[in-house]
Structure 1
C-alpha cells in the first residue's frame, strides 16, 4: 500500500507505526529521493511497514524479503553509522543481489533503528533508481529520525508494560477474582483492560469478577463506555461483574454523564462484594 500523507495537526505519536508515518512525511520534504521506507526485521524476514513513494513504486507496504537478501541487512551490518551506496550496480556488496538486478541500479541510503539495549528493530531507508548525493543536513536528518524512532520504541514498550501490569486480575478463590484498575484510562488502555478481563475470566473459569475502581483518578466518557463494555462482555461469557470502589466524585460524574449503570451490581467496598457472593470476612 502506498499512501499520500498530509501534514499532521500535532506531533503526538500513539505508537511506532504512527511515528514512522510522520518521520517519512517530514523526510520526503527535505530529501530528493523517490522512495523512503521503514522496514522491520526479525533476523529472518525484512518487512516494509511504512512506505512513501513519490513517483515510481519501488517498494510497497507489507512487502517482504528474506533479510539477508535485502539492502537493509547491509545497513544493520554497517552498525549505527549511516550507510550510503551511491551506485548499487557497481558496488561490490550489491551489484550481484537480486534486488539490484530487478531495479537496474540506483542509490540506497539507510541507518538502523535500534532499541535502547542495542537490539535491532529495523531500518529507515531511502531508495531510487537514479544516482543521488546527499548533503550533510540530509544525512543528519536520517540520523535524527533514527534516534527519534528509538525513543518512540522505548515509550511504546514502557506503555505496553504499564498496560499489562496496571490492571492485573488477582484470584481470590475458585471462581472469584479481583480486577483493580489504577490510574487514568485512555482508549488504548481501556481496550487492554477489556482484553485482560476477558482472557483471565476464561483462563481462571471465573463465576464472579470484582472490578475495583478506587484507583481511578478521573472519569470520562471513555471510562464509562469501557465499564459498560466490560460488564456486557463478562455477562455474555457467564461471569457476574461487581463494581466497587466508586469514589463520591466519580459517582457524581457518572450520574451527570447519564451513564446507564442501573443494570450493574455496584457495592461500596470489597467486603460487601464478597458478602454478596457468599463469603464472610471473619475478624
Structure 2
C-alpha cells in the first residue's frame, strides 16, 4: 500500500480571489469530482469567478447565466447547508432545467458563501457530468471550505475598508477627485496608493485627479518612483493628474531623489488646482 502524506505549507493570501483559487486547487486534490467552481451572483446574473475542471470542460471562468436558470440559485434558496443532487436528471428541482438538458446527465453539490452581514456573495459548487455518490466526508469538506471562504471574504472586505481609509479619495464633482497622501510611504502602502488611484479613477470615470502631497512625511526613492508611476498610469488611462501641496522642503528632496515635474501639472494648493481646471471654491458669507 502506497503511503501518501500531505505537507502543510504556510499560505498567505493577498485577497479573496487568491484564497479562492488555492482552496479550489486543494479541494480538487482531495475530491474525485470533475468540476469545482465559485460563482458570484447579484440575484440577476450568476458569474463564474473561479473554476477548476479535471477532465471535461464543463464550465469556463467568466461565464455568465441568468441567476434564475442556474443550480447556484437552487443552492442559495436551499439555505446554509449543502444542496446535494446525486442525479440531476432524476431530481424534481433540476430535471426540467435547460442546464440539465445541456449536460445530458450529471450531479451537483453547492453551498452558499455569505458576507458578514448575511447577504449572499455567491456559491461554492461541485459539478460532474455523471451521477455521483456524495460521501459524508465530501459533504463535510464543502461545509468547511464554504465557511472558510465566508471568513476570508469578511477579512477581504475589512481590508478593503482599511485600505480606502488609509488613502483618502474624495470625489469633488463629476470627473474630478482628490487623492490625499499623508504620513510616510513604504513599498506596501505605495502599491496600495497606485492600485486605489487607478481603480477609483476608472470607477468614477475621472478626467482629473488632484494628488495632494501637503501631508506627506518624506520624499524618498519609493515615494518618488510611486508618484511617477501613478502619473504615467493615469495618463495612459486618460486621466490628467495634478500635483498640489509640494512644499519647498519636499521639492528640494524630490529633486534630490530624481523626481522631475517638468511634464507634470503642478499647483501650489487645492484652490489653485481647481481654478486651473475651471472650478472655483465659494466661501459662505
With the length of structure 2 as denominator, give the TM-score of the two structures.
0.71
1:121 match: 121
Is structure 2 residue 58 aligned with structure 1 residue 66?
Answer: no
Over aligned residue pairs, what C-alpha RMSD do you find? Answer: 4.1
Q: How does 1:49-64 map to 2 (within 5 A)?
A: 49-64=49-64
For 1:242 and 1:49, how far apart are their aligned partners in 2? 40
8 Å contact from structure 2 (residues 72, 110) kept in 1: yes
Question: What CA distance in whole angstroms lies between the structure 1 residues aligned with 2:177 and 2:78?
Answer: 54
Superposed, 1:1-16 pairs within 5 Å as: 11-16=11-16
Q: Deviation at 1:114?
A: 0.7
Question: 1:99-136: per-residue Cα shift (whole Å, max 9, x none)?
Answer: 11121222111100111111111101111122222333
Aligned with 2:169: secondary structure?
coil
For the residue of structure 2 that corresponds to 1:23, the secondary structure is: helix
Match of 1:3 in 2: none
Q: Indicate yes or no: 2:217 matched with 1:190.
A: no
Do residues 90 (structure 1) and 90 (structure 2) align?
yes
Q: TM-score, normalised by structure 1?
A: 0.72
Q: Which residue of 2 aligns with 1:168?
A: 169
Residue 280 of structure 2 corresponds to which residue in structure 1? none
Q: Does the 8 Å CA contact 1:107/1:128 hold for their aligned counterparts?
A: yes
The yes-or-no answer on 1:32 pairing with 2:36 is no
Distance 2:129 2:171 in 1: 58
- Measured in 1, the distance between the counterparts of 2:60 and 2:161 equals 32
* 1:79 aligned partner: 79
| Structure 2 unmatched ranges of 5 or more | 1-6, 263-267, 273-285
Between the aligned partners of 1:38 and 1:237, the Cα distance in structure 2 is: 34
1:212 to 211, 214, 217: 214
Conserved in 2, the CA contact under 8 Å of 1:115 and 1:154? yes
Looking at structure 1, the residues matched to 13 and 58 of structure 2 have their Cα atoms a distance apart, in angstroms, of 27
Q: What secondary structure sits across from 1:145 in the alignment?
A: helix
Alpha-carbon distance between aligned partners in 2 of 1:246 and 1:128, rounded to the nearest angstrom: 66
Cα distance in 1, alignment partners of residues 9 and 217 from structure 2: 33
1:260 pairs with 258, 261, 264, which one? 258
Q: Runs of 4+ in structure 1 displaced over 6 angstroms?
A: 175-178, 197-200, 245-248
Residue in 2 that maps onto 1:99: 99
Total equivalences in the alignment: 253
Question: Offset of 1:261 from its aligned partner?
Answer: 1.9
Equivalent pair of 1:87/1:131 in contact (CA under 8 Å): yes
2: CA distance between counterparts of 1:23 and 1:118?
Answer: 22
Partner of 2:182: 181
- In 1: Cα distance, 2:32 partner to 2:177 partner: 61
* Counterparts of 2:88 and 2:179, CA distance in 1: 60
Q: What is the rounded CA distance, in whole Å, between the counterparts of 1:39 and 1:71 in structure 2?
A: 11
**Counterpart position of 2:277:** none
How do 1:222-261 and structure 2 match up within 5 A? Answer: 223-231=223-231, 240-242=242-244, 244=246, 259-261=257-259
For structure 1, the residue ranges without an aligned partner over 5 or more in a row are 1-6, 265-272, 278-283
Q: 1:267 maps to which residue?
A: none
How far residue 231 of structure 1 moved from its aligned partner, in angstroms, is: 4.8
- Measured in 1, the distance between the counterparts of 2:97 and 2:14 equals 37
